[in-house]
Amino acid sequence: MAYFISVDLGGTQIRAGLFARNSTTPLKVERARTRADVPGVYERLEALVASIWPQDGPVLAIGVASPGPLNPHSGVIIATPNIKEFRNFPLTEKMMARFGVPVFLDNDANLACLGEWKFGAGQGHHNVLFLTISTGIGGGVIAEDKLLQGFHGLAAELGHTTVWPDGPLCGCGKYGHIEAIASGPSIARYVSEQIAAGRESSLSGEKSLSAREVSEAARRGDVLALEAFSRAGRYLGLAVANFLASFDPSIVIFGGGVSRSGPVLFDPFHASLRENCFNPAYLENLQFANAALGDDAGLLGALALVMLSVPDN
Amino acid sequence: MAYFISVDLGGTQIRAGLFARNSTTPLKVERARTRADVPGVYERLEALVASIWPQDGPVLAIGVASPGPLNPHSGVIIATPNIKEFRNFPLTEKMMARFGVPVFLDNDANLACLGEWKFGAGQGHHNVLFLTISTGIGGGVIAEDKLLQGFHGLAAELGHTTVWPDGPLCGCGKYGHIEAIASGPSIARYVSEQIAAGRESSLSGEKSLSAREVSEAARRGDVLALEAFSRAGRYLGLAVANFLASFDPSIVIFGGGVSRSGPVLFDPFHASLRENCFNPAYLENLQFANAALGDDAGLLGALALVMLSVPDN
């Protein structure tokens, strides 16, 4: 039997899965804590892969999903905000030297998009826009059955596109990115700032708010919480209108915790999208879907990457 | 001998060129006035094509560059602002019925991009961003050696992406699109509005300003004219920062009259791009170029389309 291995490298845990060639059901999945601040993340990743290495047949290739920015062409992780030791880190080169098989790397949002397209909510579509909304906003694009990567492998970093030049500061240091308005922490920050400025809310007094708490308050009818999601939804609609004009997909797939907020986010989103979409033709037969792969998006996306990269698959 | 025919349909003139297969030097080019407001635009186009039809060999295919929005997959022109008779007009179907050969259609900006990539400033690049800045702003994208078209064929309508939600009204009816700030008429409108509001300028008293007049005044040192170009350049830098995050090209090609404004536009543009680009990695080895095909962009772009669409070319 021949195998693939896929790895999902996250800020809190590393997961590695062993798959029979042409199967998406893992034969084995092992986990390790990333311990991002403790030296040796790469060694822990290597040990985890070694621990699931099969004894009865070759591994054809390994796929790795990692936080970016990274260069999928060279296999180098440029810098990950959470894992400090990965700065210009030649991950695929080191793994190929260790394991003697081809290793493919791309960023987690791109690979979640690829996974959703190949195995999840985007199956059968040729042009896919994927947005994951959680602590940040990540993007991925399939353009005519191909993952959009770009010259430096930095395409579809859609969370860091500006929709409001005078808007709030983004984690990246620029202003008015959609991530700075509609990510979970940005929604919670807006509520905290408004409370600090004297606004009434059932959330007053909470020390550090989470997007989930704001979402629950919104569902209870808290006016400020509703406003925070409405604001996020409106700018998200503006951002997606821009992405439609750029990529013209046939499906928009939402992943990440914030995307499970329901109508408090998506009613304002759809109203804003209709208002801001410059030509109604973009919306004809356009589908919206929730990501279907859940926690397995990284693992299955990295599997899709190796399946597509290794001939005869 | 076997031939291709390409057609450049514009608001003021229609041009048709006859090319020997595998040659980019036209054997014949004929022109006709579009007379966009006079019924019979399609018939004039048909007659023009018939007038260059070769007698000594087959025409393999016809390519047509037209203003959009249009659907390149179905060959239907949805609506062109200038040519009123083209509303849901099945151009390729009618031409195929008349001439009995395959006909391919795409919008003028997309085909100018394709032409620049295949024959002009973008040769050798795999990821190209093309922007034409004149009376409007049109976009085109090559992603890994393929023209980005999208589900409805409406991808890369980059002039109609929002960079300033509270910004000026766009010709399309929405607000704050980059076309509403940095196109020629938008630059001239800004100066007129400022003069009407009491600002000093050497241009005061001019009835209806053109971007060219503003550009000449800027070169003479007119403070208001300089400010108008600086404002356009700054927002253009913001827009291109968004496009880099979306498409990650290796070259940005500028076409259209406004792109020949020189440093009054491009100094503020580059400063703004560096400021707004969220990761300096996008700028590594990124090239900037002027369009090389000039007035032939449409004709050669439509030729590139048929060359790429007909097998064995």
User: What distance in Å separates residue A292's CA from the closest CA in chain B?
Assistant: 22
Ranges A135-139, A198-202, A234-238, B83-87: which has the least confidence: B83-87
> Is the per-residue pLDDT at A229 higher than 70?
yes
User: What distance in Å separates residue B262's CA from the closest CA in chain A?
Assistant: 25
Q: Which residue of A has its CA nearest to B175?
A: A276
Q: How far apart are CA A279 and CA B47, in angstroms?
A: 32
Q: How far apart are CA B269 and CA B46, in angstroms?
A: 42
Q: Nearest 5°: phi and psi at B66?
A: -135, 155
pLDDT in tens, B203-217: 987 778 999 999 999
Per-residue confidence (pLDDT) for residue B81, from 0 to 100: 79
Q: Which domains does chain B have, with CATH numbers?
A: 3-113+295-309 (3.30.420.40), 123-291 (3.30.420.40)
**pTM exceeds 0.90 for this model:** yes
CA distances from A44 to A7, A39, A54 (A): 12, 10, 18
Tokens 């920015």 -> residue = A69
User: What distance in Å separates residue A87's CA from the closest CA in chain B?
Assistant: 13
Distance from chain centroid for Cα A57: 33
**Which of A71, A251, A253, A278 to mutate against chain B (most B CBs within 10 Å)?**
A278
Q: How far apart are CA A70 and CA A110, in angstroms?
A: 11
User: What distance in Å separates residue A109's CA from the closest CA in chain B?
Assistant: 13
Q: Among partner residues B161, B250, B278, which is closest to A160 by beta-carbon distance? A: B278
Q: Which residue of A has its CA nearest to B283?
A: A152
Per-residue confidence (pLDDT) for residue A295, from 0 to 100: 87
Cβ contacts of A160 on chain B, cutoff 8 Å = 245, 278-279
Q: Among partner residues A141, A246, A278, which is closest to B156 by beta-carbon distance? A: A246
Average pLDDT over residues B250-258: 96
> Is the per-residue pLDDT at A44 higher than 80?
yes
Cβ separation B155–A248 shorter than 8 A: yes
Cβ separation A281–B154 shorter than 8 A: yes
**Summary mean pLDDT of chain A:** 95
Query: What single-letter amino acid sits at A17?
Result: G
Cβ separation A162–B163 shorter than 8 A: yes
> Is the per-residue pLDDT at A141 higher than 70?
yes
Cβ separation B242–A243 shorter than 8 A: no
Q: Among partner residues B143, B165, B177, which is closest to A164 by beta-carbon distance? A: B165
Would the CA dihedral through B94, B98, B102, B108 be positive or negative? negative
**What's the order of all strands across the beta sheet hosting B87-90?**
B70-71, B76-79, B87-90
Distance from chain centroid for Cα B74: 21
Six-digit token pair at B22?
């595998």
Q: Which residues contact A175 (CB under 8 A, 6 or more apart)?
A: A162, A165, A166, A167, A168, A169
Per-residue confidence (pLDDT) for residue A81, from 0 to 100: 79
Average pLDDT over residues B45-58: 97
> Is the per-residue pLDDT at B190 higher than 80?
yes
Q: How far apart are CA B109 and CA B305, in angstroms?
A: 13
Cβ contacts of B243 on chain A, cutoff 8 Å = 246
Q: Which residue of B has its CA nearest to A159?
A: B245
Q: Among partner residues B155, B245, B248, which is closest to A247 by beta-carbon distance? A: B155
**Summary mean pLDDT of chain B:** 95
User: What distance in Å separates residue A118's CA from the closest CA in chain B?
Assistant: 17
Per-residue confidence (pLDDT) for residue A306, from 0 to 100: 96
Per-residue confidence (pLDDT) for residue A84, from 0 to 100: 86
pLDDT in tens, A246-269: 999 999 999 999 999 999 999 999
Q: Which residue of A has its CA nearest to B239?
A: A162
Cβ separation B278–A157 shorter than 8 A: yes
Cβ separation A150–B249 shorter than 8 A: yes
Which of the pair, B69 or B235, is modelled with greater confidence? Answer: B235
> Is the per-residue pLDDT at A301 higher than 70?
yes
Percent of the residues in chain A that have a pLDDT greater than 90, as a whole number? 90
Cβ separation B282–A246 shorter than 8 A: no
Per-residue confidence (pLDDT) for residue B295, from 0 to 100: 87
User: What distance in Å separates residue B58's CA from the closest CA in chain A?
Assistant: 32
**Which of A110, A141, A246 to mutate against chain B (most B CBs within 10 Å)?**
A246
Percent of the residues in chain B that have a pLDDT greater than 70, as a whole number? 99
Q: Give residue B312's pLDDT band: very low, low, confident or very high (50, 70, 90).
A: low
- Report whether A195 contacts A207 (CB < 8 A): no
> Is the per-residue pLDDT at A296 higher than 60?
yes
> Is the per-residue pLDDT at A222 higher than 70?
yes
> Is the per-residue pLDDT at A114 higher than 70?
yes
- Report whether A25 contacts A19 (CB < 8 A): yes
Cβ separation A152–B248 shorter than 8 A: yes
Cβ separation A151–B278 shorter than 8 A: no
Q: Which residue of A has its CA nearest to B284?
A: A152
Per-residue confidence (pLDDT) for residue A82, from 0 to 100: 80
Q: Among partner residues A150, A238, A281, which is closest to B248 by beta-carbon distance? A: A150
If one counts every other C-beta atom within 10 angstroms of the C-beta of residue A15, the result is 21
DSSP string spanning A193-240? Answer: HHHHTT---TTTT-SS--HHHHHHHHHTT-HHHHHHHHHHHHHHHHHH
> Is the per-residue pLDDT at A207 higher than 80?
no
Per-residue confidence (pLDDT) for residue A79, from 0 to 100: 85
